[in-house]
Amino acid sequence: MALEDVKDNVRDQIKAIWGRIRETDAYLQLSEKYQSLSPTGQKLSMAGVIFVGFLLVMAVPYSFYSGSQSSIEEYEGKRDTVRQLFKVNREAAGLPPAPPPVTSNDLQTMARQQLTNARLAPDQIVGVNESPANVPGIAKTIDQAGVQVSLAKVNLKQIVDIGSDLQNMQNTARMMGLEIKASAADPHYYDVIYKIVAFSAKPEALPAGKKGKKK
């Protein structure tokens, strides 16, 4: 019974509104113009009114549909971004840890070990010393450590083998200079100078207030 009452109430309100509309001047003028039209014109006018009404009715669901499409596109874009972020995080987690910083003293120790493995005579080892390292084009966030290895009276095979060993003695070491000249004591042998530089990332500075506190 309550539903029937609601229907009757709505029907009465619609009739009342329609009655007020029919009493307006605009409705009366439109009605007169409609009545003055030919039967074909009346049909066309009615079709136009129905079409406009259809457009007005469909405008509401279309606006919801258009808004939902935009929301879906936005959601898919954010979803792809999140997926890429997770992928990058997984790939970053799988990377090997950065090699520890290398100092010139470390390079000198490793270089002397390589020379020991090469079984050179003491008089063939002129010196293993720290060398200034400032390779152009390297970012300031990268530390450079250099060492200079000077040898005397070595043959060509020793030059190649020792040079390869020095460059491979550390993962980030690279040969940045090589000087070869005939030995003054015996032209069948050579004096050689290797310049090796190792690169490593600078340790991150601790933020202010997070430095080691005194106990």
One-letter amino acid identity for 95? Answer: L
Residue 181: partners with Cβ closer than 8 Å, 6 or more residues away: 190, 191
Helices (H) and strands (E) in the chain, counts: 5, 4
Instruction: Name the residue ranges covered by the structural domains of the chain.
Output: 104-201
CA 53, CA 15: separation in Å to the nearest integer?
19
Residue 7 has pLDDT above 90, yes or no: no
Q: The domain at 104-201 falls in which architecture?
A: 2-Layer Sandwich (3.30)
CA triplet 53, 58, 59: central angle to 5 degrees? 100
One-letter amino acid identity for 12? Answer: D
Number of other residues whose CB lies within 10 A of the CB of residue 137 = 4
DSSP 8-state code for residue 149: E
Residue 202: partners with Cβ closer than 8 Å, 6 or more residues away: 101, 141, 142, 143
Q: What is the pLDDT of residues 139-174, one digit of tens each?
A: 777 888 889 999 999 999 999 999 999 988 888 888
Residue 214 has pLDDT above 50, yes or no: no
Residue 26 has pLDDT above 90, yes or no: no
Using an 8 Å Cβ cutoff, are 151 and 125 in contact? yes
Question: Between 25-36 and 2-22, two packed helices, what is the crossing angle to 10 degrees?
Answer: 70
Q: What is the pLDDT of residues 119-147, one digit of tens each?
A: 998 899 999 998 887 778 777 778 888 89
Structure tokens given for 103: 């100092």
Share of the chain above pLDDT 70, in %: 84
Place of tokens 């933020």: 207
Number of other residues whose CB lies within 10 A of the CB of residue 140 = 6
Share of the chain above pLDDT 90, in %: 23
Grade residue 215 by pLDDT with cuts at 50, 70 and 90.
very low
Using an 8 Å Cβ cutoff, are 162 and 181 in contact? no
Residue 103 has pLDDT above 80, yes or no: yes
C-alpha pair distances (Å), 56 with each of 60, 70, 79, 158, 161:
7, 21, 35, 91, 86
Structure tokens given for 161: 């083998």
pLDDT (average), residues 37-61: 75
Q: Please give the pLDDT value at position 18.
A: 66
Using an 8 Å Cβ cutoff, are 166 and 146 in contact? no
Number of other residues whose CB lies within 10 A of the CB of residue 47 = 10
Residue 6: partners with Cβ closer than 8 Å, 6 or more residues away: none
Q: Please give the pLDDT value at position 65.
A: 72
* DSSP H or E stretch at residue 45: helix 39-94
